[in-house]
Chains A and B, each alone.
Chain A
Amino acid sequence: MAGLLFASLPVPPKLSKSSKANRCKRKINADTLQDVCELIFAPLSDVAHVGIPIECADGKVRLCLPILSAWIADHMENVALHGLKTNACLKCEGPTNELGTIARSY
């Protein structure tokens, strides 16, 4: 699999929830991360809407709508990016007290 490094995201130090100043810092950190991601996705948003001609392997030029299709991260990173609570599922809206049971489709 070919990988291309896009950006290295800032990783702020971990802060406790205790003091108000820390809470404020956490908020700033979260906002920074959101802004950085917005910056990265900025070129994508126009292109995904109107499309862009890209050369295909068979020699033709095709209109492509490149979109973000996967985000590979562990659970905590996903939680931070999606703005969820830690024990929330990323895919469905199942209640947290039924996580350990056989899943029904929500």
Chain B
Amino acid sequence: MNLAIGQNIFHGLDRVSASDLYKPDILYTIYLGLFKHMIDWIKAFLKKHGRLQAFNEVWKALPPYPGFLVPQKAYREVTQWQGKEIRNLARCILGVLAVALRQAGGAQAIPFKSALRCLRALVDFNMMAQYRSHTPDTIAYMEKYLDQFHRMKDILLVFRVTKRTQAKVDKQRKEIRRQRALMHERVATSQPRQMRDHDRDEEDEMYMDMIHGESHFNLIKMHLLSHFCHHIHQFSNIPMYSTEIGELGDKTQIREGWRQSNKNGAARLIVHSYCCQHAILIRLLNLQCVKNRGADISPDVLKHLDRTTSRVLPPVICWRILTGRRSDVSNIVDFSRILGVSLEIIYYELIRYSRYNLPIDLCLPEDHSTLQSLPFELLTQLEVPVLTFHGADVYEIHRA
């Protein structure tokens, strides 16, 4: 058994099964666990087959895409792989590797194919694990991908060689060569080249045997993947229990409290202040709810409530205003002032557009004073027809 001496805190609790408390976690198991290893293995794989340069070139030439952060550095220059970087990498690594490994000739074709398949299975598994809802089909897919990953991962086993195994291999190789030298002294051969090839094959064989015997993928994170599918059966989707929530909560819950405290016995103060704030917020929400139902509340409470409701509501987030944009435009009058286009032209164009293009129930009013007060945001709807993927003349309308 793999138990350390010590007790499990969860064992004293009623109706709690300690093994069910563990929730699989994408951030630590897949991103910071397997993908982090994968990065090293792929690097070694590319180096071995002389494709590192090609890979780096593709990596640097990645174009921007909504939701995807273009990598700033070359692949090998990235020293810190954190959650964000690895998430980005997981999105594009398969494509980049596929491009880097194309035009494989002869002996390279098979390892390239299995490396791609192995990586593909892992990326697919990761993608499926992020689903927010599952059907028996999707779970079956996940199992299939995991199975495929395990079957193909042997191609990367060469890169799991530890220093100790390498030393062992070197020692054995030296031993074989010594014996062979002794043998050659006795038997002089007429075909030295054939002999050498034969020796090299023998050495390679020995090396592979050694690696398969000594190296392994017995990482705990590799094993934890196998519980993912079962967990989904039992407790539904995985992102629900992500540790990222805790990491985000850290800021509001702890650092805020730490900043406001006097750093003297801070732990107690942090918990106390956060709990007080939380309790007051809940109380105010309750009062608001009671008030909305039309219950009888004393006037001083009402007065207090009115003063504080603005604080109960989530604060309005001021989004960053992009360069070249302005914040002082609220309606069409401002719009025309800034563009320097006369109001009449704008009215005319708007009415014309709404008459010809919009369905009747969505038509704009044709009265100038009503148009004038329309919020400016109504006019930012931009429609761009984009060719659908395989269709010849079929357009999808993308709205911005």
Contact = CB atoms under 8 A, between A and B. Distances in A.
Interface of A: 1, 3-8, 10, 30, 33-34, 37-38, 41, 44-45, 48-49, 65, 67-75, 78, 81-94, 96-103
Nearest to A37: B9
Contacts of B21: 68-71
A47 B36 CA distance: 43
A72 B29 CA distance: 12
Contact of B18 (A44, A82, A92, A93): A82
Interface of B: 1-10, 12-16, 18-23, 25, 28-29, 146-147, 150, 153, 216-224, 226-227, 235, 241-243, 245-246, 249, 253-254, 267, 270-271, 274-275, 278
B15 A67 contact: yes
Given A8-B254, A75-B28, A41 B12 contact: yes
Given A67-B13, A72-B25, A86 B278 contact: no
Contacts of B16: 48, 67-69
Given A67-B13, A90-B22, A99-B218, 12 more contacts: A1-B245, A48-B13, A48-B15, A81-B10, A82-B8, A82-B10, A83-B7, A89-B224, A89-B227, A90-B224, A91-B224, A97-B216
B216 A68 contact: no
B2 A87 contact: yes
A88 B2 contact: yes
Given A75-B220, A78-B22, A8 B271 contact: yes
* Dominant SS among interface residues on chain A: loop
Contacts of A10: 267
A1 B242 CA distance: 11
Contact of B9 (A7, A49, A81, A97): A81
Nearest to B18: A82
Contact of A5 (B8, B14, B275): B275
Given A74-B25, A84-B4, A91 B19 contact: yes
Contact of B270 (A5, A87, A88): A5
B243 A103 contact: no
